[in-house]
Amino acid sequence: MNSEPARPTIAAGDHQSYMQYALEQARRSPPSSTNFCVGAVLVEPETNDILSTGYTLEIPGNTHAEQCCFMKVAQAHQITEERLSEVLPKNTVLYTTMEPCNKRLSGNKTCVERILGLKGAVKTVYVGIKEPEKFVGQNEGRKRLEDAGVGVEVVKGLEDQILVVATAGHETVNK
């Protein structure tokens, strides 16, 4: 893992700044033609503490940003990811530059399954953009999360920047 820079102080409820911080994480992802560069930030909304950050491929193994956030909290508490609901504050909020995946071509557990496996600890997921249909087609993750009682809110204003970072390393087609 790379050393993590100092965490910023962000005002409670400043969704734009948290998404900007998640975008900073995404920029740390190694560009690849086979995945998206995504960043995520896990926040305790009562104290406004940043619990963890993550980005695509931060931890070895085909890891996604949200997965890295969760793995780092689990490692810090010396527990398995499956036990995270025991240590995460209730109403934990997840900011992610891209809608959590609902299907993985690698066969790994999806980010939606990971969030749902937290037994309600994550109450709201703020996303910067929907997942482009490039790899798995339409992502039904938002619907699955909402059907399970997890709020999904789109933070507008950074879509173009997020998409440029997310698709770093992808082949572009000239029009």
Positions marked catalytic: 66
Q: How many helices (H) and strands (E) does the chain have?
A: 5, 5
Strand, helix or coil at 169? Answer: coil
Alpha-helical regions (H) of 13-171 = 15-26, 65-77, 111-116, 141-147, 159-166
- Name 22's Cβ contacts closer than 8 Å, sequence gap at least 6: 39, 40, 41, 53, 65, 95, 96, 97, 128
- Name 58's Cβ contacts closer than 8 Å, sequence gap at least 6: 1, 2, 28, 29, 65, 68
Residue 166 main-chain phi, psi, to 5 deg: -60, -35
CA angle 83, 149, 104 (to 5 degrees): 65
